[in-house]
Amino acid sequence: MRSVRTEPPSFPRVQPNEPFALPAGQTWQVLCGDSGHWRAGVYSPAAVRRADCPELERHDCPELFLLLSGKLTLLVGHNRQVTELPLEPGRPVLVTAPHAGFCPDGPHTGTALVIERDAFETEYGTWDEQTSSQTVTLPKVPR
C-alpha cells in the first residue's frame, strides 16, 4: 500500500460570489474550499465497471458524496468484501470505508460532488489489502 498526505490549502482559488465552470472529462478535480477546514470537488471516474478499479482508497476522515448527474457506482470495501453502491440523486452518502467508483454508462458520464477535509491522509491499496479485517487504522492528521 502507499500513503499520500494532503495539506492545506489543498484547493485552487476561485472568485467568491461568482459562478465558475465544472471540469469535464476529469476523474477528480478539487474546486474550492476553506483552508484548514473543508474542500469540495467533483468526481467523475473513467472506469466503466468494477474490474476497471484495481485499487481502493481510504481517507482518515469521512467524505460526503452526492450525485450531480448521470450514473455513478461506488465500490465500498469492508471485511474482505466489496459492495456496489449506486449513487442516487438527492441521497448523499457519507463514506468512511475503502472505496473507488465507476460510471456504468461510459467514462465520465456520472458526476458526484465530494466534500472532504482540507487536510488528511489517504491510503491506496489493492482490494485484498484494503478490505482485510486486519487493515491498520490510519492516524488522524493533526489539525
Could you tell me whether strands 73-78 and 81-86 are parallel, antiparallel, or unpaired per DSSP bridges? Answer: antiparallel
Ranges assigned E (strand) in 1-143: 2-6, 28-34, 38-43, 55-59, 63-69, 73-78, 81-86, 93-95, 99-102, 111-117, 120-126
pTM: 0.87
2-131 fold:
Jelly Rolls (2.60.120)
How many whole angstroms separate alpha carbon 7 and alpha carbon 118?
7
The larger pLDDT score, comparing residue 128 to residue 98, is at 98
Cis peptide before 8 (omega within 30 of 0): no
Tell me the domain boundaries of the chain: 2-131
Pick from 7-16, 88-97, 115-124: least confident: 7-16
